[in-house]
Amino acid sequence: MTTATNDAGSARSAAPWHLWVVGVVALLWNGFGGYDYVMTRLQGDAYMRSAGMTDAQIAHFNAMPAWMGAVWAIGVWGGVIGAILLLVRSKWALHAFVASLAAFVVSLIYNYALSDGAAVMGQTVMIMQVVILASCLLFAWYAWAMGKRGVLR
């Protein structure tokens, strides 16, 4: 690993090539989540139908309490902000990714323990949620690892 000197004269680790790969993948992945969020808010049921959701799934989504809307926003935008912060090598990327992960876990608890989301959403959505959880964990772990290595400042 190489080091560079910043304007303040202190040494910091140079960014490894994989930081840019993971950062761009994180931005694209979470950016799609942001697109989905915005389109759902702007076009509502029409967008959800175009995404393949059934009437029962749309009704379940529309019945979510307002606090779940806030949880969803934190999850989505925390991931987008985390990806941007990772690309600019900020230590705050970890905090944003952890906020996104925590919000996603809360949404899982709501959908599978506090509502009938498991029955309504079906197996395909459940598989997608496993993929989302894995990506949240991966991005948070990666930001933590890069922070420990001194890559993030």
Residue reference for tokens 């993971």: 22
- Residue 40 identity (one-letter amino acid): T
Longest Cα–Cα distance of the chain, Å, equals: 60
Q: Which domain holds residue 42?
A: 17-148
pTM for the structure as a whole = 0.87
The reply to whether 10 falls in a domain is no
- Strands (DSSP E) found in the chain: 3-5, 11-13
User: Is the residue at 132 inside a domain?
Assistant: yes
User: 91 lies in a domain?
Assistant: yes
State the DSSP string of 82-100. Answer: HHHHHHTT-THHHHHHHHH
Q: Is residue 80, in this structure, part of any structural domain at all?
A: yes
Percent share of the chain, pLDDT over 90:
76
Q: Is residue 5 part of a domain?
A: no
Quick one: pLDDT band at residue 11, thresholds 50, 70, 90?
Answer: low
Measured CA angle at 123 (ends 40, 107), to 5 deg: 50
In tens, the pLDDT along 70-96 reads: 999 999 999 999 999 999 999 999 999
Q: Assess if residue 2 is contained within a domain.
A: no
Whether 122 is covered by a domain: the verdict is: yes
Considering its fold, how many domains does the chain have in total?
1
Residue 97 inside a domain? The answer is yes
